[in-house]
Structure 1
Amino acid sequence: MSKIQSSVLVIGGGVAGIQTSLDLTELGFKVYMVEKKSTIGGAMAQLDKTFPTLDCSLCILAPKMVEVFRDPNIELLTYSEVRDISGEPGNYQIKVLKKPRYVKEDTCKGCGDCATVCPVRGIPHGFDYDLKTHSAAHISFPSAVPPVYLVDEDKCLHLNYGICGLCQNNCSAEAIDFSQEPEEISFSVGAIVIATGWKQDMPEVYQNLAGSSPNVVSSMQFERLLSANGPTGGELMRLDDKKHPHSIAFVQCVGSRNFSDPECKKYCSSICCMAGAKQAIVATEHAPELETLIFNTEIRAKGKNFYEFIEKSKEEYGVKYVNGRVSNIKEDPENGKLRLFYEDMDEGIVKSSEVDLAVLASALYPNNDYYELLNSLEADINEMSFVSDESRKELEDRNIFFTGYAADPKDIPVSVAEGSSCAAKISEKLYPVRFEQIKEPEYPEEIEIKPNEDPRVGILVCQCGINIAGVVDVKEVVEYIKDLPYVAHAEDNMYSCSSDSQERIKEMIEEYDLNRFIVASCTPRTHEPLFRNTLKEAGLNPFLFELVNIRDQDSWVHQKFPEKATEKAKDLIRMYLAKVVNLKPLKRIKVDVEQTSMVIGGGVAGLTAALNLGKQGFKVHLIEKRDKLGGKVLDYNDLFNTKVNQEDIKTWIKEVKDHPNITVHLNSNIEDIRGFVGNYNIILKENKSQSQQEFKVGTIIVATGANQSEPTRYVNLVEKYPDRIITQSQLETLSDDEIADFEDATVVLCVDQRENEHNKGDSIKTYCSNVCCMASLKNIQRLLKVNPKAQVHVLYREMQFSELFAEKLWRDARSKNVTFERYRSIKDIAIKDNDGSFHVKYENIGANCEIEYNSDLLVLATPELPAEGTKDLAKMLKVPTTKDGFFLEAHVKLRPIDFATDGIFLCGSAHWPKNIDESIAQGYGAAARATILMAKGEVETEGITSYVNEEKCVGCGRCAEVCPYNAIEMIEATKKMGIYTVSESKAHVIGAVCKGCGACAAECPVGAIDQNHFSKFQIKKQIDLLTGIDKAACQKTN
């Protein structure tokens, strides 16, 4: 067999490809990222905001894009296509065609002088979905990565006719190179990841919906209209007369979920319902008087906090949801207004409505490159036009993986988790050659900052599109801060987190001889590492930086008070200036990482994580409180619509039990967890023997799952007929013979969940449990198998599923003795005892009347709840939970399987109820994140630590008592007192362990403990600067 290559090809530079690539390099593998377009970022870079947090999409993505661009172990091949794949698993030969930009990538400064003088104009701009035009010399968008222009060879006068050349003459960097030719690049890789994303049809395809009207746009075109770097600069307007719309219709399911038209897609595109709600909210923020209507057959809001987001759109923004599918749109030729014709499903009649603008949520589907790749790999395509499960499994055996929309429809968090999942699978196959091709990043020698050297502060104020500049007068703020003490230079820009902005920061540091830096933009939780690294690249200590959050703490919370928000921005920056002039260079400490992991929970997610880690050579402690592995799925009668079956899971269990690197602890509970990233001390108790065991681990993966709750509604009937009123989970555990006899069965979905009203008690949930609707299709099949002649009723509000084959399975169920009957609220369903059967009475939405019937068997979809003990475990781990009790991830979009606490990761239904396939993907993903820490064998600790003034310390030990990381030890110190030597107890901070939380500094009764980067003096000066701007208030510490 030929040598295994320590490199990976990632095809596609969207968010899934980006996450996969970044994880792979951290895992020790070189990455070749090939992107057909001129920039990475994919569709996420084109979005204005993301749901459900309404974060600026580019703001949270740009740091990841910059990270790819900076990574010395990612060879970024944009404007390139894969032309040939040959070889064998572990050693594939790849040929890539890199198209000429006619701009030297290593020379271009991204200044745009070429585009300014280019005489060829009016070329449709693909990044903006043809809503504006660009010149022949252009860049996709200001924050493009790489930040390099290109010349359109089909339109350029010089390339086609040998004339012009103005761009070449005007380029001060001499980056224009008309002699460039297509370049074939060859290299070898051990594995391949396909992350080619999706595309969307433009409105012109849908002539019945007035697709040719300029006032009918696709959902992605609307995103560009909302975006500050879009064709209208974020100003919402109609495209024909440039007037602001007063009413907008969002038309859902255009070209999707349709089995009758061969041109349409049969599946749900997964993201459109939530995207529509988000767009309606953002549009209303642009124009509070705007009327927004969302036409839908049902709203699918099954993700974490999604249903609450839908309710927020109604209650806080006045978004109207119209239960009806639009069949026709006609444009008024005189005023451009649009009349929508639709069936009102609540009333069963055809209605019409007039609006100024219509947004079509047209179907998403794989692009042409995807099918070319599948054809070259001889992969089969299923009836939904995605790679078949059989081919996907065969290709994974050959080290070829799919992620993101290239696998099946999904949203951003699932794509990110799946990207990490691909990285874990590849790491399992290639780990023997880990780090063979890895280069360590190189930084310039750090500039020495002398104690008596005056601060020279640079400040960059971010407009953040219109997130900040739409409320805060950024120009006024910059003019104000220019005159503050120690400010050597201040300026503003559109997006401070973009790659070109990082270069500008480095230029500012050199040009103005800066020794401190402030960025006033968004949250340090996501962006501080980016800017600190930029300072490091400029030769400054990364801790001589502060990020002022004038978005979350100002523009977002004071949207209706722009003048006061502007003044507050000045105050915040002024306060941080007082702190930054007193900052000192700090150093991180490297500590060894215990190359052992603990996985808490032995369900499918935990099994996946443990087995992946074990196969990579790491020791694993797998903790399960029950007496067997496999979780609840092995209690079920069968699995349904998954890529694995119960035999697969039983095989995994045997592999786990037999694996020499994995220790399984059954019937066990965790008693205590102490320590810090890389070094956690665990105390475990075995429940039967009550014996305790102690061990150390470097990382922790939480996979504790979720369980369906017991019914709290119809309690008297449940107690009287426990075999005839059961939950879906209970039904799944019964054998056919154990199911009570029935001629008529009723499945009731959304029992005490997806409730609009809050604070009804612990048994009433506002969220969707995600898995119930799909489970109901499985249970319907089961009931009809037991009694083929039975009548089955499914009482539902809105079917919540978006799995690839869900629509087909639903359609198949409707063709049998099954009626899907829509109701409005669970409180409207009356169920009474009818001598052994049940009398069911409810208001049917479709029929618009009251329906009554008798049923023998009731199956209830009650809420999924966090596993028992979740709250106690969260306290031990010092990690947060949501209001619903599930674990809270570090970032809903881009860190869905990380906790904010380093070294602890999350997967499966402990994060949120989810299906088996997604739980497995998250299990792999969490394993990848844990492996990143353990494979390196060391981790850098936080440079911001506490320190003790021994002269003041009285040795009381209260600091050691409150320290959550055991980072303080009491030591015996000696002290001379005249002729005597006295021994006394003193506190000592262990720098390698301290996380800089500040609990000790707050607790110390004599003020003997202070904290680097957050000293008492710095905080006092911040308070002083809130009320004054004189140099005395801004003075440095001695």
Structure 2
Amino acid sequence: LWGVEFLKDTASGRAPDLKGKRVIVIGGGNVAMDVARTAQRLGPQEVRIFCLETREEMPASPWEVEEAEAEGIPIIHRWGVKEIKSPAGQVTGIELKAVARVFDEEGRFAPTYFEDQTRSETCDVVILAIGQRANLQFLTEADGLELTPRGLIKADPETKATSREGVFAGGDVVSGPWIAIAAVADGREAAESIDRYLRGLDLKQGRELPLRPIKEGHWNPLPEKEPRKARAPMPHLPVEKWLEGFQEINLGYEAEQAMAEASRCINCGVCSECLQCVVACEAGAIDHKQKPRTLELEVGAVILAPGFRPFEARRKAEYGYGRYPNVVTSLEFERLLSATGPCAGHVRRPSDGAEPRRLAWIQCVGSRDASIGREYCSYVCCMYAAKQAIIAKEHNPQVEATVFFIDFRAQGKGFDRYYQRARETHGVRFIRSLPSRVTQNPRTHHLEITFVDEHGRIRAEEFDLVVLSVGLRPHPSAERLAQVLGLDTDAYGFIKNPPFQLISTSREGIFACGVYQSPKDIPETVGQASAAAAAAAALLAEARGTMLTKPEYPEERDICTEEPRIGVFVCHCGINIAGVVDVAAVADYARRLPQVIYADHYMFTCSSDSLEKMRQVIQAYGLNRVVVASCSPRTHEALFQENLRKSGLNKYLFEMANIRDQDSWVHQGEPELATEKAKELVKMAVARAAALEPLKELPFTVTPSALVVGNGLSALTAALTIADAGYQVHLAALEERFAFGGLAHKQHYTLEGYEIQPFIRRMVEKVDNHPRIRWWPNTRITSFSGHVGNFRSTLEYPHERRDLQYGAAVIATGGIEYKPTEYLYGRHERVLTQMELENRLATEPEIAAGDLTFVMIQCVGSRSPEHPYCSRVCCGEAIKNALKIKEINPRAHVFILYRDIRTYGLKEIYYKKARDLGVRFIRYEPEEPPTVRADGIRLDISVFDQNLKATLALRADYLVLSAAIRPHPLSAEIAQIFKLPLDADGFFMEAHLKLRPLDFAASGIFLCGLAHSPKFFEESIAQAQGAAARAIGILAQKQLFVGGAVAWVDPLKCVLCLTCMRTCPFGVPRVNAAEGVIQIDPAACQGCGNCASACPRKAIEVFHYRDRQFVSQICAIDLEEMAAS
């Protein structure tokens, strides 16, 4: 039977005979509940409901489900119909199949099943209540109506016109099942179109006009921060009377209850096309008349970076997201922590606004989970949970933070130190367990997490707030993008790339980067984006610069003889500033300051309209200095300085007052005091601006060649990438010719199964034969000088010496494998490192033959007090060799003794594959490491298994050590020559871990590969391409400018104490022997000011940051007035 027809027949007195029969209802919506409850009243033997969804996913209203259960109707979840059994035309039973999932990543209804998991149920009647659709069977091809892929009528969304002239359609036959008000609206639009059609008028002209005029203030504003209120409970008859008939069980509200329910805000603020937003938006940014446009572009390369979306946490119904207000996703919690978030950085519980004390993070929500088709690791979740826990405790030291995890994956540079700091310094508790469920205490809204602890006991703990560390998935638009471009993707929607080329795709000339390639963090994303740019640049080398337009500026005005004429522009920054600070009052105050000629306030000072207005004001008022009171100079100073150049002013005649970060953000609860502070900040900025002076920047010609230091895979890749872009490359190899390829020279295959040596041979051949690459083997660099765009070095190699000039440098010195001193390495012939085993398996595969046992020990030389970093590749290397052993000899026994398995991203698939093939993983703690004893040719290993809580004795034929990656021995020498910093582990230190992962603080020098940190073969290639792109960005400029905000030495004060030479991190100060003073090259100076602050004679100043400018700023503060306030 069909559900709606069954209800109609029953209501019409034609109810089917169900007495004594076994009834099954299929469906999970309100109709299914109505059908089951109606059937229950017709005297059946039993009524049961089977539905696809979990209780939390069911579309039925919660009270409908509760009332059905109260009537004794069982609801069986996660089963779908496979077959209705009806021999001889009579229903006898139903076969069902288990549901894998109901909704896809975008929340669309797309059920999938476990076809091999079935169950059979006996019944006499099956009633289907699974939705409905329009019956269009009466249509034929001759009718000429085009249908959509969903089988609905295709109609113009505005006019309702179909593909056949004079025929219009609307409602469910066009949209599918939808609400009644939409059908009414469609009918109205169709009637308008029919009227126009019959009168011969244009169907669309004027249709976009609003139905009523826009009038200021005729709508009711939506209340802000309205507390969430539950629906008023409906009084009803006693449950035992419900089944006596079809009488109404709800008794209706009393007057007081009705008033409470009617006054409850249901937060109905959905767009109703009233167009009042157009009136409200002062920036004029909203245009309801915009139409889609199609652009055709002729390009030489395409880079895809569609980004990602977090996993939809509702799919893990056991954790209660979407049902319990105090279960939030990690992205939502990040917003709660933000100073600009809903709690101004002070975390509050969504349910009651209380400050939570006990916080829990649940890892791997939407990652490493085969039940939802997400077997991969999302890479970033462990570290952002540690970060959030630390920040939460910094905000409130009373917070108790707990992180539930499987393996803590801190494989990035500096990550393990951060993880240890979270544990040891901040007291974050880490529990190795995956919770089974989260339940809510309905009275307190506290949350109880059930989990199995490390001793195997089932436990439950209560928390105030639970954060779900949700994984990453490709952006929903990426699937369509790949289809349109004809690109191959994997089973999860990530782009497929050729071997060793992470930024390439299955189509030449189309590149991809970021999470679209695989899950990754910010540093890798930034580096990979540069790599994609480099790959595109190689294709476009011949056309480089042909479409560029050089900006033209008016002649710079000479203001040296003018008195200061200052203009002050105060920014609202939307509500970022104006929501706290009275910007109009600040602008009015600025008008009264000395030497201020003009002051006003703007909604967004950085907008193109405001910048144009600023230029007009500068001309009209003859301004010669500008102050902008807005956000941070870190993000906007360059924009405003450029605007001054367009106005004919020197760009150094500009000053910013940061009244957002330093005022409105930190004083949100004190608007009056924040306004006074803004006035003081503006007053100080005006005083400093009056003391500013124009500065000159001098052009110089860039040397269009690069130096690459190293002979590993990263060095080869960087050299080829720069050379392919059209520039000369000097490749200074630190070792002999046969060592080209670095550590990769000793490897044979990747975890994915690709052969490495043929690839390296092709790379070496390309370098050998490239007309723009000159390399010297076994080279030492003995000197370094110069500045970005014009460096000089001396190279010494056997029997020759060479002086080079170049515009940029890439440091790719590589790394080495640690040679262990522990576990009998070097004292027993069958104790090998992973690289040694790999070489033996590739050249002597027979060593894996026979009934052999291989034991592998992880973290040898890593994650120790002496070397507290993760070598990143070790877990993948161990699993790679374990899989190779199993491939050669499936009967071999392989044990991997580990602390955390860190097969991040898509490498997680191979961890699962190893387990499926019988590789056994045994976890140990650093406090109880394995012990090894030789017994002849074999080895006895004893290890305490943290999962079994028992000591295991393993007898091994081979012991394999996953040895750490160490920096190249020459790294320290290179760092000293180039004046480059090293981190605590001896790897080169980048300018910024996240934002500038490939740059040094010294301009024009870049790093990549193992010189940066341990990483896999293909990751080194991508990072080398990224570093090359950064270098190409300099070489592509014919000229650079030096000077401006740089240090200057007063020769009358300098006494050659050499303090500045010892202080400068870039080695810029030099002794001018002829004049007997220190000299600073303005082209090499970075303007950091270390020399100026260290000089005991105060002989050094930095232009634009001179003493008198800061003194003017300090003296502007009215200390007495501030103390009084």
Q: Structure 1-normalised TM-score?
A: 0.72
Q: Is the 8 A contact 1:965 1:995 kept in 2?
A: no
Determine the C-alpha separation between the residues in 2 that align with 1:791 and 1:698: 55
Structure 2 matches for 1:495-514, cutoff 5 A?
A: none
Aligned residues of 1:403 and 1:422 also touching (Cα < 8 A): yes
- Counterpart AA for 1:190: G
CA change 1:644–1:396 in 2 (3 A) is: farther
819, 833, 836: which is aligned to 1:727? 833
Report whether the alignment pairs 1:811 with 2:912. Answer: yes
Counterpart position of 1:747: 856
> Cα gap change, 1:429/1:351 in structure 2, threshold over 3 Å: closer, same or farther?
same
Cα separation, partners in 2 of 1:238 and 1:787, compared to 1, 3 Å:
same
> 1:409 — aligned with what?
519
Counterpart in 2 of 1:367?
475
Rounded to whole Å, the distance in 2 between the matches of 1:510 and 1:248 is 57
How many Å apart are 1:925 and its aligned residue?
A: 0.9
1:117-172, Cα deviation, whole Å (9 max, x unpaired): 694877999xxxx99xxxxxxxxxxxxxxxxxxxxxx96555xxxxx554555667
Q: CA deviation at 1:921?
A: 0.9
The structural deviation recorded for 1:943 is 1.3
* Separation of aligned partners in 2, 1:860 and 1:826: 18
1:807 alignment partner AA: E
Q: When the two structures are aligned, how many residues end up with a matched partner? A: 855
Distance 1:939 1:775 in 2: 45
1:29-53 Cα shifts (integer Å, max 9, x gaps): xxxxxxxxxxxxxxxxxxxxxxxxx
Is 1:867 paired with 2:963? no
The 1:622–1:234 alpha-carbon spacing in structure 2 relative to 1, beyond 3 Å, is: same
1:322 is the counterpart of 2:413: no
Q: Counterpart of 1:909?
A: 1010
Residue in 1 aligned with 2:487?
379
Q: Does 2:306 align with 1:215?
A: no
- Equivalences for 1:661-740 in 2 at 5 Å? 661-686=772-797, 688-689=798-799, 691-714=800-823, 717-721=824-828, 723-734=829-840, 736-737=843-844
Q: Which has the larger displacement, 785-794 or 949-958? A: 949-958
What are the equivalent positions in structure 2 for 1:835-850 lying under 5 Å apart?
Answer: 835-850=936-951
Instruction: Verify the 8 A CA contact 1:699 1:930 in the aligned structure 2.
Output: yes
Residue 774 (str. 1) matches residue 881 (str. 2)? no
Farther-moved stretch of structure 1 (822-831 vs 347-356): 822-831
Aligned mates of 2:661, 2:288 — CA distance in 1: 46
> Which residue pairs with 2:360 in the alignment?
249
Structure 1 match to 2:1103: 1012
Query: Out of 203, 206, 214, which is 2:313 matched to?
Result: 203
Match of 1:890 in 2: 991
One-letter amino acid of the structure 1 residue matched with residue 459 of structure 2: K
CA distance in 2, matches of 1:729, 1:473: 66
User: Which shifted more, 426-435 or 504-513?
Assistant: 504-513
Alpha-carbon distance in structure 2 between the residues aligned to 1:233 and 1:494? 22
Match of 2:532 in 1: 422
What is the rounded CA distance, in whole Å, between the counterparts of 1:945 and 1:225 in structure 2? Answer: 41
Larger radius of gyration: 2
Q: Distance in 2 between matches of 1:1027 and 1:878?
A: 44
> 1:44-193 residue pairs with structure 2 within 5 A?
119=219, 157=272, 164-168=274-278, 177-193=287-303
SS of match in other structure, 1:589: strand
Question: What is the identity, as a one-letter code, of the residue corresponding to 2:817?
Answer: Q
588 and 203 in structure 1: CA distance in 2 versus 1, 3 angstrom threshold: same
Question: Structure 1 residue 271 and structure 2 residue 399: aligned?
Answer: no
Are the counterparts in 1 of residues 810 and 1007 from structure 2 also a CA contact under 8 Å?
yes
Higher relative contact order (CA closer than 8 Å, sequence separation 6+): 1
- What is the distance in 1 between the residues matched to 2:387 and 2:705? 42
TM-aligned CA deviation for residue 347 of structure 1: 0.8
Instruction: Give, in angstroms, the shift of residue 726 of structure 1.
Output: 2.9
For residues 758-785 of structure 1, the C-alpha deviation after alignment (integer angstroms, 9 at most, x for no partner) is xx5xxx2111111111111112234445
Task: Give the distance between the partners of 1:694 and 1:856, measured in 2 at CA.
Answer: 54
The structural deviation recorded for 1:309 is: 1.5
Partners of 2:953 and 2:585 in 1: how far apart? 67
Q: Which residue of 1 aligns with 2:211?
A: none
Q: 2:61 maps to what in 1?
A: none
Compared with structure 1, are the counterparts of its residues 347 and 168 closer, same or farther at alpha carbon in structure 2 (3 Å cutoff)? Answer: closer
Does 1:657 find its partner at 2:748?
A: no
- Pairwise CA distance, 1:343: 2.0
1:632 alignment partner, one of 743, 755, 759: 743
- Residue by residue over 1:792-845, the C-alpha shift from the partner in whole angstroms, topping out at 9 and shown as x without a partner, is 2211111112131x2221122123342100011165333334444333223221
Alignment partners' CA distance in 1, 2:1069 and 2:979: 15
**Aligned 8 A contact 1:516 1:581 in 2:** no
Mapped contact 1:337–1:354 kept (Cα < 8 A): yes
State which of 426, 438, 442 in structure 1 corresponds to 2:548: 438
**Kindly tell me: are residues 357 and 657 of structure 1, through their superposed partners in 2, closer, same or farther at Cα, counting changes over 3 Å?**
same
Partner of 1:240: 351
2:448, 2:463 within 8 Å by CA — same for their partners in 1?
A: yes
**For 2:307 and 2:715, how far apart are their aligned partners in 1?**
29
Asked whether the equivalents of residues 633 and 639 of structure 1 are also in contact (C-alpha less than 8 Å), the reply is: no
Aligned to 1:388: 496
1:586 to partner: Cα distance = 0.8
1:679 partner letter: N
**Structure 1, residues 899-933: CA drift from partner, whole Å, max 9, x if none?**
12111111111111111121111111111111111
Percent of matched pairs sharing the same residue: 34
Are the aligned partners of 1:962 and 1:1000 in contact in 2 as well (CA < 8 Å)?
yes
TM-score (norm 2): 0.67
For 1:698, give the aligned amino acid.
G
- In structure 2, relative to structure 1, the CA distance for the partners of 1:709 and 1:1013 (3 Å cut) is same
Secondary structure of 2:364's aligned partner: strand
SS at match of 1:326: coil
CA offsets, 1:956-976, max 9 Å, x none? 99999999667868597xxxx
For residues 550 and 797 of structure 1, do their structure 2 counterparts lie closer, same or farther at Cα, with a shift above 3 Å needed?
A: farther
Write the distance in 2 (CA, Å) between the matches of 1:157 and 1:473.
Answer: 33
Q: How does 1:485-504 map to 2 (within 5 A)?
A: none
Amino acid aligned to 1:278: K
Q: Aligned equivalents of 2:885 and 2:522: distance in 1?
A: 36
State the alpha-carbon separation in 1 of the partners of residues 374 and 863 from structure 2.
28
> Using the alignment, how far apart are the partners of 1:254 and 1:808 within structure 2?
17
Q: Secondary structure at the match of 2:983?
A: coil
Give per-residue Cα distances to partners, 1:854-905, cap 9 Å, x unaligned: 3343222233221112122122222222122211112211211111211111
Give the whole-Å Cα distance in 1 for the aligned partners of 2:1058 and 2:396. Answer: 58
* Code of the aligned partner of 1:709: Y
Separation in structure 1 between the aligned mates of residue 741 and residue 391 of structure 2, nearest angstrom: 44
- Taking structure 1 as reference, are residues 539 and 733 closer, same or farther at Cα in structure 2, changes over 3 Å only? farther
Query: Higher mean Cα deviation, 610-619 or 990-999?
Result: 990-999
Distance 2:665 2:433 in 1: 34
What's the CA shift string for 1:447-470, capped at 9, x where partnerless?
Answer: 654455247485979999999x99
* Matched residue SS, 1:798: coil
| Deviation of the 1:751 alpha carbon | 2.4
Counterparts in 2 of 1:247 and 1:482: CA distance versus 1, 3 Å: farther
Question: Which of residues 737, 747, 765 is equivalent to 2:867?
Answer: 765
2:867 and 2:677 mapped to 1: Cα distance? 38
Corresponding residue for residue 412 of structure 2: 303
Change (3 A) 1:746 1:685: same
Conserved 8 A contact 1:750-1:826: no
Which 5+ residue runs of structure 1 have no aligned equivalent? Answer: 1-113, 132-153, 159-163, 973-983, 1031-1038
Quote the offset at 1:935 in angstroms.
1.3
Work out the CA distance in 2 between the residues paired with 1:487 and 1:802: 58
1:1016/1:228 Cα in 2 relative to 1: closer, same or farther (>3 Å)?
A: closer
Secondary structure of the 2:805 match is strand
Equivalent AA in structure 2 for residue 349 of structure 1: R
